[in-house]
Amino acid sequence: MKKAILALSLVLISFSLPSTAWAQMDNLNGSWEGSISLPGNQLAMTVHFVESNESLAATIDIQGAQGLPLTNVSRDGNNVHFELQAGPGVAVFKGAVASSGISGTFSQGGVNAPFSLELTDGAPPSEATTLEESGVMTETGIAILGRWEGAILIQGVNLGMVVNFSDADGMLAATMDISEQSALGLPLTNVSAADGNVHFELVAGPGLAVFEGQVEGDFMGGSFRQNGVGTFYLNRVDEDALEPVELPYAAEEVEFSNDTITLAGTLTIPESDGPHPAVVLVTGSGAQNRDEEILGFKVFGVIADHLTRNGIAVLRYDDRGVGGSSGSIAASTAEDFAGDVLAGIELLRQRPDIKSDQVGILGHSEGGIVAPVAASRSEDVAFIILMAGSAVPGDAILLEQGELGLRVEGATEEAVRKKRELQLAIFHSVRTNEDWDVAREHVETELREAIESAPENTRNSLGDIETYIQNTTDASIAGVQNDWFRYFLDYDPGVALRQVTVPVLGLFGEKDLQVPPSQNGPVMEQALRDGGNTDFSVEIIPEANHLFQQAGTGSVSEYATLPKEFAEGFLSRITEWITARTM
């Protein structure tokens, strides 16, 4: 599970809001309230400016501290800069004044995020001027041409995206890819960049999605508005890293079928003489591409490259309904996905360059549920590796996941209690198909409380609040009324684990908050022992999160800010384990 499954749904592209216009203010005097939009977490703050003709000073209220002095406070036209000496290093704020307030980028200790402030006490901004129209890129413009990867953050959901900026006959143009919605090359409109500011819009469905932000080096971030208000961030991608390179192994595009479903994937084969052992990779929950790309981290792409360079062939494929694969995730269950992976194993077993008796499965998250199901159904599976595979029923996972996720973000006990009540109400309705009105009431209450505690400018930009709550609640309820969720909720992975007799390597991240090792590791070990398995190991990777990155807290909100690489020792452990059993 890459995301909390009961997170409120994000339906991209719903209704339009007018573009923000930049304003010129006489001074910044007054109190400005707002927040830093860390991924999945809003850190509230208030900045108090005192400006005269000769000087500009400011203090900040944040994390319970009042009146902390800010340093290097300056203003150049509409651009504002201030710093806070605290925590792991200097926190730097760079922004611009707009009709809706001040917005820009926050950076500290290698973390970058958007921030926004609204004037709550002082003279209101003067009448705004229009945003500079998109124009020819000049030497004074922003060097943003190229590929940027990041995500939209709204209602606790991270929606990955890629924006490609290009020069179209001297004009700035851009397209957007949203892989989770299987949308590639979406044309962006009203694209502009000037004086550190960037603006672009996406026209789709019944409305308009508006992005406005600032650029600071290789980071771009700001506000996102469409069916609600959120933030977005993008990190520049090294163009040289995207240049095609000659791989030291062969890569083939393949297709295989499970009944009426067609799966499209990539098979990488070592350059050494075969035949080779092989492994089929199975993604976690949600619609994932063959690289299992999560917020720019190509989890399976990196694993496949490493294993293939070390003599192990790898098949990875697009999930149902993604890329070149047919079918639907929501209408399928782990039983269906097990059929998909077994079809992939059969494809490999027919090839002369693959050792037919040495084909195994590596499953991540929900893929760690699918792999034992497949192994229990077929003698053709030689081994399985479970990356953060759950060993307890789905309802237990979701309840623990919800509580740990809230606690690490500093939530109150009351918030934790209400989250649990919401989850239990939904579980009851999913199981019985009754009392949906009670479940809806819980969702609406959570939404209403979140809106009431949001800054005024956020509330104002939602439009009609009741309509917004109604639409968002509808989307949230619809997200659990499907075959996949009904199956996942009560499925006990221990049943299949007790039937697995082939070698098993179970790996957990020490700081995984989505499939916690303390909840699942001992249960997995006991199930394998009870089934009589004589070759298994359940291990914990130190400091690793659910994606097996080296993490600070393990929170989902960290994923986007961490290096796109695995924790030390993770890849080598997988390779050594497979090699010891196949070569």
Domain finish residue from 88, 121, 154:
121
Q: Note whether 279 and 254 are same-domain residues.
A: yes
Same domain, 308 and 388: yes
Specify the pLDDT at position 136.
32
Neighbour-count burial of 348, counting CB atoms closer than 10 A to its CB (0-12 exposed, 13-18 middle, 19+ buried): buried
Domain boundaries, position 223: 146-240
**Among the three residues 487, 508, 535, which one is the final residue of a domain in this structure?**
487
Same-domain check for residues 482 and 498: no
Statement to judge: residues 169 and 76 lie in one domain: no
CA distance 369 to 363: 8
Among all chains, which residue has been given the structure tokens 């959901």?
Answer: 157
Tokens of 183: 């949308």
Q: What CATH number has the domain bearing residue 280?
A: 3.40.50.1820
pLDDT of residue 3: 35
Domain edge (last residue) among 224, 240, 256: 240
Q: Tell me, what CATH number does 187's domain have?
A: 2.40.128.20
Are residue 262 and residue 377 in the same domain, yes or no? yes
How many domains does the structure of the chain reveal? 4
Name residue 176's beta-bridge partners: 163, 186
From edge to edge, which strands make up the β-sheet containing 56-62?
Answer: 65-69, 56-62, 41-51, 30-38, 111-121, 101-108, 89-98, 79-86, 71-76
Q: What is the pLDDT of residue 237?
A: 82
SS3 of 133-165: CCCECCCCCCCCCEEEEEEEEECCEEEEEEEEE
- The verdict on residue 134 lying in a domain is no
Cα–Cα distances (Å) from 130 to 4, 177, 214, in that order, read: 40, 28, 17
Q: What is the structure's pLDDT at 39?
A: 57
> Is 198:2 a contact under the CB 8 Å cutoff?
no
What phi and psi, each to the nearest 5 degrees, are found at residue 307? -65, -40
Distance, in Å, from the CA atom of 4 to the CA atom of 398, rounded to the nearest integer, reads 7
pLDDT tens, N- to C-terminus, the chain (583 residues) = 443 322 222 223 222 222 222 234 567 888 888 888 775 567 788 898 877 666 788 888 876 666 677 888 888 877 888 888 665 567 888 888 865 588 877 877 667 778 888 888 654 333 322 223 333 333 334 578 888 988 887 655 567 788 999 887 778 888 888 866 656 778 888 888 877 788 898 865 445 788 888 887 788 888 887 765 677 888 888 766 555 668 899 999 999 999 999 999 999 999 999 899 999 999 998 778 899 988 778 899 999 999 999 999 999 999 998 888 998 888 899 999 999 999 999 999 999 999 999 999 999 999 999 999 999 999 999 999 999 999 999 999 999 998 998 898 788 899 899 999 999 999 999 999 999 999 999 988 888 887 787 766 556 656 678 887 887 788 778 878 889 899 999 999 999 999 999 999 999 999 999 999 999 999 999 999 999 999 999 999 999 999 999 999 998 877 767 888 999 999 999 999 999 999 7
Q: Give one DSSP letter per residue of 415-436, joined into a string.
A: HHHHHHHHHHHHHHHHHHS--H
Q: Does residue 514 share a domain with residue 380?
A: yes
- Separation CA 92–CA 107 (nearest Å): 5
Question: In terms of domains, do 271 and 233 share one?
Answer: no
pTM of the predicted protein model: 0.68
- Residue 384: what are its φ and ψ, rounded to 5°? -140, 145
Considering the domain boundaries, does residue 139 fall inside one? Answer: no
Whether residues 505 and 529 fall in one domain: yes
- Give the whole-angstrom CA distance, residue 408 versus residue 160: 23
Three-state SS at 533: coil
User: In Å, what is the CA distance from 36 to each residue of 47, 156, 246, 496, 539?
Assistant: 12, 14, 42, 45, 37
- The structure tokens 């005269």 sit at 52
Same structural domain, 377 and 452: no
Residue in the structure block whose two tokens are 């077929």: 378
Structural domain contains residue 73: yes
Residue 221 β-bridge partners = 214, 233
Residue 439, pLDDT score: 92
The amino acid at 121: D
* Contact assessment for residue 176 and residue 186, using Cβ atoms and an 8 Å cutoff: yes
278 and 386 together in one domain: yes
Pairing of strands 157-168, 146-154: antiparallel
Whether residues 222 and 207 share a domain: the answer is yes
The answer on 208 and 183 residing in a single domain is yes
Residues 6+ apart with CB under 8 A from 548: 299, 387, 388, 507, 509, 541, 566, 567, 570
From CA 190, how far away is CA 172, in angstroms rounded? 9
Q: Kindly provide the residue ranges of all beta strands, DSSP E only, lying in 52-145, ordered along the sequence.
A: 56-62, 65-69, 71-76, 79-86, 89-98, 101-108, 111-121
Strand residues in 372-430 grouped as ranges (E) = 384-387
